[in-house]
Amino acid sequence: MHVLFVHKNFPAQFGHIAAALTRQGHRCTFVSQTPAGTVDGIGKIQYTLRGGATRHTHYCSRTFENATWHAHAVYEALQARPDIRPDLVVGHSGFGSTLFLRELYPGTPLLNYFEYFYRPRNSDLDFRPEWPPSEQDRLRAYTRNAMILLDLEYCTAGYTPTHFQHGLFPQAYRPKIEVIHDGIDAAFWHPKAGSSTKYLLDIPPQARIITYVARGFESMRGFDIFLQAARKIYTRRPDVHFLVIGEDRVAYGGDLRHTGGRSFKEYLLEQDGYDLRHLHFLGRVPPRTLAAILARSDLHIYLTVPFVLSWSLLNAMSCGCTVLASDTAPVQEVIEAGHNGLLCDFFDVDGFAEAALDVLRTPRKFRRTLGAAARRTVEERYAFRVTFPRLLTLFERLAEHP
């Protein structure tokens, strides 16, 4: 079976899947904006954009304009490679990457990875009233799904990682979409992953460690709530140190409109007094280092508005962390309060602090119970060895019966 993966980035959500297919003897080709070549047996083709939205493009149509340029660039790159004749095309919906491939491969099944369907109200956009979206952002939510809707119409089938995400798509298209998670490498993200991480920081050996991980420090991932809770925690437990991992940027939301040109992190730290002796901002760290940190963590705090669930939550659970998370829809699908983690109302700073302090009194007990159950949840439902066979079955079914 020859599978053609299409994504603007590499490896993104498909790299580990392509690698697993290659190990089984299947041929995989990956089209992206990254340089061409071969990586772990995966053939890479680079596509190059020849245009995009400009400042003259209407704000609400820029997403579609950019996606169309991506779609055309992918089409041109593959048109120049007539030797590529896939049995199945797998692409990330929304970037527009696969839209024109029906013209090149009219008889080839097309499987789209559907990540999110945007809504103007009762969604991630308006979940944080203290950080309201601009009028333009609210209007853009009505048009932002244009390419996604085209993908839903033209694809042979689709899949999405969680039931929460599946439920966001229009009812008429849900039968086309299966729920299959990307899969977590549970052998890598493990409770005994590496040695102590104290070599990173001058932290006392008996210190309590709380971890927080996010791609960017922003309101969508509750960074402000985390900081407020952290201050209450270290005020009452001076032995607590917070290892904060991620980049000082906003990956998704519109926080920078409210911060006067500063980063969201800088803005928050300037607004309130924080003792930075307890807060250690590590930036991005290599996966192996992150696994070792999570394996040492006494408590992992995770917050998200109703949006795409972060891989970092499942990585932490796979490492056997005691997780304290926001009681929001994507998290509720994974964590059952009191069984494999703890949940708290997203906005309840005092609730987060009290729950954290309770865990820190006897962290080993919580790791043996909630942490062990969290690990089992990943092993049984989200480990790649569990999800990959389901993906492979879907791939083979489509390739054999286009």
What is the residue extent of each domain of the chain? 2-183+384-400, 208-382
Among 227, 374, 228, residue whose Cα is nearest residue 294: 374
Distance in angstroms (rounded) separating the CA atoms of residues 133 and 255: 9
Cα–Cα distance list, 324 to 96, 206, 210, 228 (Å): 37, 21, 10, 15
Prediction pTM value: 0.95
What are φ and ψ of residue 212, in 5° steps? Answer: -145, 130
The answer to whether residue 201 scores a pLDDT higher than 80 is: no
Q: Give Dmax over CA atoms of the chain in angstroms.
A: 66
> What are 293-327's pLDDT values in tens digits?
999 999 999 999 999 999 999 999 999 999 999 99
Structure tokens at 291: 């696994």
Distance in angstroms (rounded) separating the CA atoms of residues 323 and 337: 10
Contact between 395 and 88 under an 8 Å Cβ cutoff? The reply is yes
Burial of 85 per CB tally in 10 Å (0-12, 13-18, 19+):
exposed
> What are 76-85's pLDDT values in tens digits?
999 999 999 9
Structure tokens at 294: 């999570």
The answer to whether residue 371 scores a pLDDT higher than 80 is: yes
> What are 331-345's pLDDT values in tens digits?
999 999 999 999 999
> What are 128-178's pLDDT values in tens digits?
999 999 999 999 999 999 999 999 999 999 999 999 999 999 999 999 999
Instruction: Report CA Rg, the chain.
Output: 22
Distance in angstroms (rounded) separating the CA atoms of residues 126 and 131: 8
The answer to whether residue 197 scores a pLDDT higher than 60 is: no
Average pLDDT over residues 9-14: 91
Q: Which CATH number fits domain 2-183+384-400: 3.60.15.10, 2.40.30.200, 3.40.50.2000, 3.40.50.1360?
A: 3.40.50.2000
pLDDT-based confidence at 203, cuts 50/70/90?
confident
User: Is the fold of 2-183+384-400 the same as that of 208-382?
Assistant: yes
Q: Which residues pair with 31 in a beta bridge?
A: 6, 45
The answer to whether residue 213 scores a pLDDT higher than 80 is: yes
Dihedral sign (CA 209, 212, 213, 215)? negative
- Residue 53 has a pLDDT of 95
Angle between helices 349-361 and 223-236 (to 10 degrees): 50
What share of the chain in percent tops pLDDT 70? Answer: 98
Q: Which helix (H) or strand (E) holds 302?
A: strand 299-302
Superfamily of domain 208-382: Glycogen Phosphorylase B; (3.40.50.2000)
The answer to whether residue 285 scores a pLDDT higher than 60 is: yes
- Residue 271 has a pLDDT of 87
The answer to whether residue 66 scores a pLDDT higher than 60 is: yes
Cα–Cα distance list, 364 to 28, 69, 320, 335 (Å): 44, 53, 11, 19
What is the bridge-based pairing of β-strands 323-326 and 240-247? Answer: unpaired
